Amino acid sequence: MTEIDVNRTSAAAGRPPRRMGIALLAAALTAAVLAAITPWPRGFQGAPTGDAELMAELEDALGSQHWQHVAAARVNGDEVTFAGTGADEHTEFEIGSITKTFTAALFADAIDRGEVEADTRLGEVWPDLEGKVAEVTLESIAMQRSGLPSQEPAPSFGDGVMSVLSRYIHTDPYRGNAADIVASLSDVEVGEPEPEYSNYGFAVLGQALAEVAGQDYSELVRDRLTEPLGMNETFVPDTAEGLTHGFTASGLPAAPWTMNGSAPAGSIRSTTHDLSLWLRAVSDGTATGAEATEPRADFEDDRIGWAWFTTTHDGSTITWHNGGTGGFRSYLGFDRETGDGIIVLIDSANDVDEAASLVSTKGERP
């Protein structure tokens, strides 16, 4: 009896019991399924387009992430070179906060038209406003030092809940329409007028400019900025229907953002073709509102104009703005002295600010 028991024990030591084998098989199948559905860091996806050398430089600058598709444009004077993978110069992307450079241009243009002044107060735009918020100037908003909070107050409790949930279900967190943005000013708390990046501030600025002009923000962008430059692939969406989506930083699908009343802070969709027109016109001063790029004050380690930042990078003084939504990232920068610049648009939420290294330094044009 003892011998039989010893033999059984030896057999068990030599091979796993049936239930252990089933458990191992289940674990292996689970691992295989998770591997199939979990995105892994990978390079850009799709067929290459345009200039192979520029694309190789871009991949080297950005490194390995959960990339999807990319389009880039390098501006050297009158010459523009396009490149991409899975996208080209006419592929549409959300440009995020690069939108603020358009809002800032509208601000500069409104001053030129006599619609507002740099020190116009919110209380002059909306006379019903009272208290500290009524004294906030449009220029302080444009220079990111208004004291307004960084994000819009939720229009309702339900909207607040949905805005929080949007981080987890990857949807547009901006719930309030233009009227909600204006109404929120009556209850908003205004802090000290110190440098602090505010999406809410630019939503307010854009709606203020729309108010004094008697037009919707999207109409102002089209009529005053994009149409004169022939930027036919650039627009402010009013609905998410039919819009392409991007991907989170880990590679999961993310719904498109229209941002509703906060559109002036980051909702514009465009292409590298159109943004190359924007970059060239802004850098050479021919764009409406190009004076918005002029540095006016310190902002952390940079200088800031109206929306535009200016910093030194690898020997170049670069004027720039970047952008990010739930599923897209962007970067646009140019050397103020030479006009050389770079534009990068991707449909994943991984920063592309390292693209600044592709702006040619003086005397080193490719």
Q: How far is CA 118 from CA 93, 110, 244, 306, in A?
A: 32, 9, 37, 10
As beta bridge partners, residue 73 has: 82, 343
Count of positions (residues) in the chain: 366
Per-residue pLDDT of the chain (366 residues; tens, 9 = 90+): 333 333 333 333 444 455 555 656 665 665 555 444 545 556 789 999 999 999 999 999 998 777 899 999 999 988 999 999 999 999 999 999 999 999 999 999 999 999 999 999 999 999 999 999 999 999 999 999 999 999 888 777 776 777 777 777 888 899 899 999 999 999 999 999 999 999 999 999 999 999 999 999 999 999 999 999 999 999 999 999 999 999 999 889 999 999 999 999 999 999 999 999 999 999 999 999 999 999 999 999 999 999 999 998 777 799 999 999 999 999 999 998 888 999 999 999 999 999 999 986 444 444
Measure the CA–CA gap between 17 and 116, rounded to whole angstroms.
82
Question: Range(s) for CATH 3.40.710.10 in the chain?
Answer: 48-358
DSSP code string of 247-258: E-TTS-EE----
CA triple 309-312-318, angle to 5 deg:
50
CATH architecture of 48-358: 3-Layer(aba) Sandwich (3.40)
- How many angstroms separate the CA atoms of 363 and 104, rounded? 31
Handedness of CA 333, 251, 202, 147 (dihedral sign): negative
Identify the three-state secondary structure at position 217: helix
Half-sphere exposure in the Cβ direction for 243 (13 Å, CA): 24
Residue with tokens 């991409």: 84
Amino acid letter for position 345: L
Report how far Cα 79 is from the mean position of its chain's Cα atoms.
26
Grouping H, G, I as helix, E, B as strand and the rest as coil, residue 51 is coil
What the block records as the tokens of 175 is: 């719930």
- Taking each helix axis from N to C end, the angle separating 99-113 and 272-283, rounded to the nearest 10 degrees, works out to 40
